[in-house]
Structure 1
Amino acid sequence: MNCEHYPINLGCLFLGEAVLGINPQLGRLVTEEEALAHLKKCEESRLIHMIGRNKLDAQWLGVKPGEKLLSICNCDPCCCLWRIIPIITPKISRKIKKMTGVDVKLTDRCNGCGICTKGCCFLDAIHLINKKAFITKECRGCGRCVNICPNKAIELIINDARYVEKSIKKISEVIDIT
């Protein structure tokens, strides 16, 4: 599959014991440094990192046990599976949660241009109301609207000084990445 906007090599990362079963034609093992450099390239390209355990990834990669696989998707608007979130059942879409300690906030710099409402949000969580952007409770804090706003009117705020520490602990409870 060819991506419309991004190099194909800016794809997902997979962590955990199950990666040892991934077909070498679909991916390769990398060092921690290579993984971090990959994530930095994805971030610089304005791709959005989404981390979680996706049963579908274990299926298409043909790896077991699925609970030993953790995905870091570098989501883009044309190829990412998660672009269908607004049309899938609420039971599934609710499984994607905003990380605790992160908020997306609209500032008074919003001039109502509407760029943030045109296909940038996977969840259609941002709308124009009275010529100003409005972020709904559906927002999962991905930050794509923050990156795309030409007026820097939307901010991603980490409101917990221990956010990184807590996130690492939460992820470590789910999967062993050592």
Structure 2
Amino acid sequence: MITTNELAKRLAIPTSNIRALEALGVITGTPVTIGKTRAWPEETVEELADRQFIEDLPHPRAIAVKVQPAESITPIPGDPRTHKGWIAGLPNNYTKRQIDGVNRYWAVKDAPDWIDEVFLVTSKTFILAPYRITGVKQHGNDWSFALTEPDTETRKLFDQKRIHSRRGPFVERLPDTRNQ
């Protein structure tokens, strides 16, 4: 069994991120609790630690947004959402409910230039899901993105991968690295 501290070390993230990864559905299963210590099976930890970083692989250009676990929001006129963030445990990441929680409001000045590109939903160095951008809409200085399920090749490339975490903006631009 691997303790929370050891899990965080193996994933190279702060221990404070472990509970968020559980809430996001990245770390699955129930940890064993002994006193105040929580621990996970070795296989669970190894599967997470062995995930490749997308920056180490050839990939198309993409926008990566950082999200938190879903939380309820106060209704906004003209905005049908009841939550923002990632809903863990949905059987399909491409439902309207999931997309509505992650597709807006992002500060992306060149948003129209990203139509037909990849939109990555990420948190705590893990890619939660890739989407294809099919349109954009401006809301003041921010943008919402019309998203759909990507093609099989794109999905396979980004599924079960990680992304190097950087402090700072909630939106990162990844360049196309397929011809490098």
Short-chain TM bin = under 0.3
State the TM-score, normalizing by the size of structure 1.
Answer: 0.28
State the TM-score, normalizing by the size of structure 2.
Answer: 0.28
More helix per residue: 1
More strand per residue: 2
